[in-house]
């Protein structure tokens, strides 16, 4: 019964603070403070200082601002225009034509960004005008872009996976490895949807692109070489064991600066804007993580996570049934919170549950990213929907409707992960890497 009252108080304070538009990180600290004052005799101030410093000073966490900065630098280069020029020749003959550049472009940029919003904005800048000019249906342009941009959360370097790894103290590199195959499979599902639309969808098809020789196609591909080399260097150094995630991120920043300078798009203004953009995003995420670590400590004193895990265990739910319940839970939660907040807010309770059920924590990291991806394109707080609204000036309801098929494909991805868990676990189990 004490756990019931503790849960009720935690939820009441949390939703009161969030409803008052308090920053999420500060709201988490406020809930933790109330919990410490009500349920423990330990001084809340001393506990907060110690816990926040410990949560914010993790060496693994240094990969986060570096990967964010790398994405910010590339976002401000001519990468988007070059990517379209390099991808278009190879996508044009596929069923569905240049719509596939949305998927391929998001997949490539996700591998150097780690952010769904940065992926959406960068690829959207290149593809929306080009696809509109060629007569592609508006609902397909927007829907495929909304779904494919979520690959920024899955394909390494993923900011969500970094936060998850830091929160549960697991290897970031192992989590990055686990995200590769599921990310590519999800991209394949999105492309299969475009092919299905091409053959069975209603509406006019755009005119076929003019013919291009193989030599011309290869020549245009040179615009993709710099970014592919950067992806190969950053990801390859981690997977081959030459660098930790943090060291690979530092290499990525140097590579991004070099690429921007080579393109002639690196100026003092670009440099400072990218640095300040990375600082703002990193500070926001760090504040959320600090609040979450204090909340985890506070909830630990109440015994709530342990009691909830024991209650779940008493229900004798199978791991599959637990995953179904958590899928519904995270989809609902994701309608009101962003992905990183959803992860850090729930891990104190969810981690004991999944460990008790014998669920692999590396696999669960990929699962949680997929369901958090859905939250990016589900109203009312689907962040990608708002970004697309700003780019296209459409009503949010129209954009949400175009993204419904992509949400369905992400649901299918959850089923695929449950049926074939090796999709996420094989690579980290079979490739030796440097820890961290």
- CA–CA distance, 178 with 188 (Å, rounded to integer): 17
Q: Across the chain, what does the average pLDDT equal?
A: 78
- Whether 211 is covered by a domain: the verdict is no
In tens, the pLDDT along 349-378 reads: 788 888 878 888 999 999 988 888 887 787
Please name which of 396, 406, 402, 392 lies closest in space to residue 131, comparing C-alpha atoms.
392
Q: Give 1's pLDDT tier (boundaries 50, 70, 90).
A: very low
Total-model pTM: 0.76
Please name which of 329, 342, 18, 359 lies closest in space to residue 163, comparing C-alpha atoms.
342
Q: Return the higher-pLDDT residue of 197 and 18.
A: 197
**Is 70 strand, coil or helix?**
helix
* Residue 436 scores a pLDDT above 60: no
- Whether 159 is covered by a domain: the verdict is yes
Average pLDDT over residues 145-170: 82
Query: What pLDDT shows up at residue 18?
Result: 65
Each residue of 113-135: b (16+ CB within 10 Å) or e?
bbbbbbbbbbbbbbbbebbeebe
Query: What pLDDT shows up at residue 367?
Result: 92
- Whether 210 is covered by a domain: the verdict is no
- Whether 217 is covered by a domain: the verdict is no
Query: What pLDDT shows up at residue 191?
Result: 92
Q: What percent of the chain has pLDDT over 70?
A: 83
Query: What pLDDT shows up at residue 56?
Result: 67
Domain count of the fold of the chain: 1
- Whether 402 is covered by a domain: the verdict is yes
Q: Return the higher-pLDDT residue of 289 and 186.
A: 186
* Residue 101 scores a pLDDT above 50: yes
Residue numbers of the domain that contains 303: 2-199+225-430
- Whether 204 is covered by a domain: the verdict is no
- Whether 410 is covered by a domain: the verdict is yes
Q: Return the higher-pLDDT residue of 67 and 399.
A: 399
Please name which of 369, 349, 355 lies closest in space to residue 424, comparing C-alpha atoms.
369
In tens, the pLDDT along 230-253 reads: 878 887 777 777 777 778 888 888
- Whether 209 is covered by a domain: the verdict is no
Q: Give 434's pLDDT tier (boundaries 50, 70, 90).
A: very low
């Amino acid at each position: 019964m004490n756990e019931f009252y503790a849960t009720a108080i935690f939820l009441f304070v949390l939703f009161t603070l969030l409803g008052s538009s308090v920053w999420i990180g500060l709201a988490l600290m406020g809930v933790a403070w109330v919990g410490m004052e009500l349920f423990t005799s330990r001084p809340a101030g001393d506990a907060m200082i110690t816990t926040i410093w410990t949560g914010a000073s993790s060496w693994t966490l240094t990969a986060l601002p570096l990967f964010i900065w790398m994405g910010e630098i590339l976002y401000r280069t001519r990468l988007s225009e070059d990517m379209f020029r390099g991808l278009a020749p190879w996508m044009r003959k596929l069923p569905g034509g240049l719509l596939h550049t949305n998927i391929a472009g998001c997949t490539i940029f996700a591998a150097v960004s780690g952010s769904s919003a940065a992926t959406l904005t960068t690829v959207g800048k290149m593809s929306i005008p080009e696809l509109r000019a060629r007569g592609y249906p508006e609902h397909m342009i927007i829907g495929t872009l909304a779904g494919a941009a979520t690959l920024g959360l899955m394909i390494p370097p993923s900011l969500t996976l970094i936060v998850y790894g830091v929160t549960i103290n697991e290897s970031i590199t192992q989590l990055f490895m686990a995200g590769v195959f599921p990310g590519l499979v999800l991209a394949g599902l999105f492309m299969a949807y475009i092919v299905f639309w091409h053959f069975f969808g209603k509406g006019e098809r755009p005119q076929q692109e003019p013919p291009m020789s193989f030599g011309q196609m290869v020549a245009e591909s040179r615009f993709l070489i710099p970014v592919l080399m950067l992806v190969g260097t950053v990801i390859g150094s981690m997977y081959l064991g030459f660098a930790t995630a943090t060291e690979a991120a530092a290499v990525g920043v140097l590579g991004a600066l070099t690429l921007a300078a080579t393109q002639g798009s690196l100026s003092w203004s670009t440099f400072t804007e990218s640095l300040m953009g990375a600082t703002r995003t990193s500070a926001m995420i760090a504040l959320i993580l600090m609040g979450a670590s204090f909340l985890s400590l506070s909830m630990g004193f109440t015994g709530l996570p342990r009691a909830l895990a024991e209650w779940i265990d008493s229900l004798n739910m199978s791991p599959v049934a637990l995953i179904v319940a958590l899928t519904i839970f995270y989809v609902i939660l994701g309608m009101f919170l962003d992905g990183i907040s959803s992860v850090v807010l729930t891990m104190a309770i969810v981690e004991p549950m999944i460990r008790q059920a014998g669920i692999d924590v590396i696999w669960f990291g990929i699962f949680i990213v997929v369901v958090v991806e859905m939250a990016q394109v589900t109203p009312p707080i689907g962040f990608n929907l708002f970004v697309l609204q700003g780019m296209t000036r459409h009503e949010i309801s129209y954009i949400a409707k175009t993204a419904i098929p992509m949400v369905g494909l992400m649901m299918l991805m959850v089923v695929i992960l449950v049926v074939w868990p090796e999709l996420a676990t094989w690579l980290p189990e079979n490739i030796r890497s440097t820890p961290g």
